[in-house]
């Protein structure tokens, strides 16, 4: 949730952000009008409440014969106070509901536009020329099935479409990848966390996952709990309603969790293999930082993601995501997209977002204000993918050989237990 003071002080900034996202800028005016109604109601309530208190003192000091009339007027004042208190509360509810519809204000350098308006910031590595090597690349599912690493058929039998089993070498490859990501995060100063995958509605909403993308979330109606699609949600809620000590710098966590996504609206998209599935594993980095350090932390997360992609030897590019493709909580986002030979294009493998104070404001996460003694202020939150199951797509396809084997990246060999994965005979 954005700070209503930003709307009051610089409404044109928020209108420009709305336009860059392709959202309705008139929502800003709705919020300002609701804020004015709320403030007016509070002011009137406080005035009448003060009058009521003063009147109470007059009643106490009045002669006996004057008291009945004064008491009757006091009842009238009491009714007015109750009505104005209700009106002020309703105004607060209306304002909060409208504010929750306003996505985070995008940062100045974010490209405007939609999904296809990203800006490529860097490209690393050269895709292999399989034609020059004399064979056509197989896709990850064909490779995974021949290696005994992926079983989609039994996944569908057990869980339905978009479910799968990682078997034998596939399971070892994923565990090796996730262990590498966690070790890398720990070495970079992140505290490892194994987090809940079921969260309360207020945590899901606070992290910003029940707004435009509520349809992608699994909800357990009988328990009023939500299955999370990333450990970002649980880690954002970890310090809800707390005041953090950030005098020694940002607090950094690396969460390991199973993730769940309904993939609502993706009918017919990526139905083959494990690119778009309902359940997957993920290591997510999450940072609580002073607002002044948020941009530097964002770059730090991106650098860690890039180091991990370099370790698994996959060609990739870095894109600066356009405003209309950011998602509500993010003020800026960088994606690293790995090359997928069978598709001849780059696909998202990591994403890192600077959410500024948007999530912390909803969840009540603050720190001591270094410039105002005795005061608190909201912190910035940031997140970034260290590794996820989808990486197996790029690893298998980019390291395949003509005979159907797959060379294991050196960084994963110790945990996988072999240098080469070979097709089953």
Indicate whether this model's pTM tops 0.85: yes
Annotation marks residue 121 as catalytic: no
Catalytic residue among 49, 219, 276, 413: 276
The verdict on 123 and 95 lying in the same domain is no
pLDDT recorded at residue 62: 79
The verdict on 19 and 145 lying in the same domain is no
Annotation marks residue 276 as catalytic: yes
pLDDT recorded at residue 48: 81
Q: What is the mean pLDDT of residues 195-212?
A: 93
Annotation marks residue 390 as catalytic: yes
Is the confidence at residue 269, as pLDDT, over 90?
no
Catalytic residue among 38, 138, 261, 332: 261
Domain range for residue 357? 119-421
- Give the Å distances, CA to CA, from 332 to 180, 209, 288, 294, 358: 27, 17, 16, 11, 12
Annotation marks residue 351 as catalytic: yes
Q: What is the mean pLDDT of residues 327-335?
A: 96
Please report whether residue 343 resides in a domain: yes
Contact 85, 44 (CB under 8 A): no
Catalytic residue among 17, 231, 342, 351: 351
Please report whether residue 108 resides in a domain: no
| 190 Cβ neighbours under 8 A, 6+ residues apart | 252, 253, 254, 285
The verdict on 77 and 127 lying in the same domain is no
pLDDT recorded at residue 212: 67
- Residue 56, domain CATH: 1.10.287.40
pLDDT recorded at residue 159: 96
Please report whether residue 140 resides in a domain: yes
Q: What is the mean pLDDT of residues 179-199?
A: 98
Please report whether residue 111 resides in a domain: no
Please report whether residue 307 resides in a domain: yes
- Residue 415, domain CATH: 3.30.930.10
Pull the structure tokens for residue 293: 């350090």
Annotation marks residue 337 as catalytic: no
């Amino acid at each position: 949730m954005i700070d209503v003071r930003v709307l009051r002080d610089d409404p044109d900034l928020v209108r420009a952000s709305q336009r860059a996202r392709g959202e309705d800028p008139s929502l800003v005016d709705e919020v300002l009008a609701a804020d004015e109604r709320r403030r007016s109601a509070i002011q009137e309530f406080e005035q009448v409440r003060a009058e009521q208190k003063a009147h109470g003192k007059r009643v106490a000091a009045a002669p006996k014969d004057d008291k009945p009339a004064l008491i009757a007027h006091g009842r009238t004042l009491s009714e007015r106070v109750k009505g104005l208190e209700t009106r002020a509360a309703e105004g607060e509810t209306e304002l909060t509901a409208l504010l929750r519809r306003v996505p985070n204000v995008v940062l100045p350098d974010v490209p405007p536009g939609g999904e296809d308006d990203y800006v490529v910031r860097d490209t690393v590595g050269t895709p292999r020329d399989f034609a020059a090597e004399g064979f056509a690349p197989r896709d990850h599912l064909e490779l995974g099935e021949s290696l005994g690493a992926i079983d989609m058929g039994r996944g569908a039998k057990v869980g339905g479409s978009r479910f799968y089993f990682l078997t034998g070498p596939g399971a070892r490859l994923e565990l090796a990848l996730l262990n590498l990501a966690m070790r890398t995060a720990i070495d970079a100063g992140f505290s490892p966390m194994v987090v809940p995958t079921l969260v309360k509605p207020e945590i899901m909403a606070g992290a910003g996952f029940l707004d435009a993308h509520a349809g992608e979330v699994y909800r357990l109606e009988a328990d009023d709990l939500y299955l999370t699609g990333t450990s970002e949600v649980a880690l954002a809620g970890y310090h809800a309603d707390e005041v953090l000590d950030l005098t020694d710098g940002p607090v950094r966590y690396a969460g390991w969790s199973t993730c769940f996504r309904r993939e609502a609206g993706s009918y017919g998209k990526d139905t083959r293999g494990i690119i778009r599935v309902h359940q997957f594993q993920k290591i997510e980095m999450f940072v609580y930082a002073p607002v002044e350090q948020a941009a530097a932390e964002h770059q730090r997360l991106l650098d860690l993601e890039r180091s991990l992609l370099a370790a698994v030897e996959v060609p990739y590019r870095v894109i600066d995501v356009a405003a209309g493709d950011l998602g509500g909580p993010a003020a800026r986002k960088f994606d690293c997209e790995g090359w997928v030979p069978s598709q001849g294009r780059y696909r998202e493998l990591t994403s890192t977002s600077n959410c500024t104070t948007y999530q912390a404001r909803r969840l009540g996460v603050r720190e001591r204000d270094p410039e105002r003694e005795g005061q608190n202020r909201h912190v910035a939150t940031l997140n970034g993918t260290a590794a996820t199951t989808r990486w197996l797509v790029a690893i298998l396809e980019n390291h395949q050989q003509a005979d159907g084997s797959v060379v294991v990246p050196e960084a994963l060999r110790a945990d996988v237990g072999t240098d080469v994965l070979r097709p089953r005979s």
